[in-house]
Amino acid sequence: MAYYLVLLSPSAYEAFRETLHFPEWRAPAVAALQAGDYLIAYLPALSRWIGVLEVQAVRGAQVRVQPQVWLSLAQGVPLTHSRLWTTLSFTRQRDPDMASAIPTLRTTLTPLSEADGALLADFLRAQAASGQETPYDQAAYQSLLARRLVRSDGRGVIAAMPDLHDMHIEDLFYSNIEGRETVRVQALLADAGAKMGYTIWIPHEDRSVVFREWKPKQRPMLDSFDAFDLDRLTRETLERFDMLWLQDGQIVRAFEIEHSYSIYLGLLRLADFFSLQPQAAVRVHLVAPDSRRERIFQEVRRPCFSLMQPAPLCELITYLSYEGVRDFTAQPMQPFGADGLDAFVEAIE
C-alpha cells in the first residue's frame, strides 16, 4: 500500500463519479498505481484536503477508485490546519503565508511518505465522522464554476478571460527585468538535453546569446528542419520554439520559455502547433518564473484555448518553473532521461 497526492480542479470535484481521468502523458505515473493504494485528494482552488480514494483498478490514464472519504466543500480541511501544517513533512518548516508555493502540492500523483499519507488519511476519516465545517469563499468558488464550458466532446472545462489592462502593465514590468534570466534558463535546458544525449534545437536568432552562457566542448545542434517531412507552416512553427530535444529525428520535448513579450503570444504558438499537428505525441512545457504562474494559468483558460481541438490546451502542455529547471538540471543527467523532468512539471488545472 502506498499513498499519492491527487489534485482536483473544481470541475473535476463536481463531476467525480468513482473514476479519475488523467491526461495521456500521465499514463506512466498512473501505471505505477496498484490496487489498494490510497489517493489523498486536494482541491487547490480552495486549498483544502477533500478525500481519501482507494485505487481499485487502472486502465491507461484512467483510475477507478472507491471513496473512503469524500467531504463536502464546507467539511474540507484547510491546508493550514494547525495539526496538519505543523506535522506534515512538506509544510512543517514553511510559513503558512507562503502556502501556495509548496512544491509537493503542484504535481498530481506525487508520492507521499507513509507517515504523511497515513496522517492525512486518518485525519480526513475523523473529519468525515465529526462533520465539522469551516467557512470558505463560496462566491469565488461559484465564480469558477460559472466559467465552466462544455466542449463538443462533452467534457467540461473552466474558461476565463484575463484582464487586458493588468496583463499589459505586468508584461511591461517583467520585460525589463527577466531577459537575462530567460537566457540562463534556456542555456540550462540546452546543457541538460545535450548531456542526456539529445540533439538540441535553439532558434538561430537566440544562439549567440545562449552560447555566451552555454559553453560545452561540443554542441549537438540541429541546424535546420529541411530533412523533416513537414509542411511549411509546421516547420516555421517549430523553428520558433525556444528549445527542442530530439532523438533519432523525433522531438522528445519542446519548451516555450516565457520571454519579454506577452504570455499570450507564446500560448498562440503552442496552439498553432497542436492545430497543425493534432496527433503529435510531443511533451510540451511552458517555462516561466513562479512570479508569473498565476497569469499563465489564467491565460491558458481562455475560451479559445479551452475549446480547441483535439483537447484543451491545458491538457496538452505543462508548466515548468525556472526553479524547477534549476532543480532538475542540478541532478546527474541520465542517458535519454527526459522522463525524469516529469517530477518537476505541474499540470495546469
pLDDT of residue 315: 87
Burial of 204 (0-12, 13-18, 19+ CB in 10 A): exposed
Structural domain that includes position 124: 3-146
- Position 169 scores a pLDDT of 40
- Name the domain boundary from 146, 176, 208: 146
- C-alpha cell, 317: 502542455
Amino acid at 349: E
Reported as half-sphere exposure (CB side, CA atoms, 13 A), residue 89 has a value of: 10
Cell numbers for 218, please give them: 561540443
Per the domain annotation, does 152 fall within a domain? no
Q: How far is CA 193 from the centre of its chain?
A: 20
**Whole-prediction pTM value?**
0.69
Is position 239 within any domain? yes
**Residue at which a domain ends, from 126, 146, 166:** 146
Question: Does residue 325 belong to any structural domain of this protein?
Answer: yes
**What pLDDT is attached to residue 328?**
95
Domain finish residue from 146, 168, 203: 146
Predicted pLDDT at 341: 93
Averaged over successive runs of 10 residues, the pLDDT of the chain (349 residues) comes to 92 85 82 96 93 95 94 95 95 82 84 96 97 90 68 66 47 50 93 96 93 88 92 92 94 86 80 89 91 85 85 90 94 93 86
**309 and 217, same structural domain?**
yes
The answer to whether residues 16 and 73 belong to one domain is yes
Give residue 210's pLDDT: 93
b/e for 90-123, b at 16 or more Cβ within 10 A? ebeeeeeeeeeeeeebbbbbbbbeeebbebbbeb
* Residue 254 domain flag: yes
pLDDT at res. 311: 85
What's the pLDDT score for residue 170? 43
Residues 73 and 169 in one domain: no
> Are residues 189 and 308 located together in one domain of the fold?
yes
Per-residue exposure over 146-182, b if at least 16 CB sit within 10 Å of its own CB, e if not: ebbeeeeeeebbbbeebeeeebeebbeebeeebeeeb
Q: Residue 5 CB: number of other CB atoms within 10 A?
A: 22
Q: In angstroms, how far is the first alpha carbon of the chain from the final one?
A: 27
- 255: part of which helix (H) or strand (E)? strand 250-257
Does residue 168 share a domain with residue 141? no
Has residue 151 been placed in a domain? no
Residues 113, 163, single domain; the answer is no
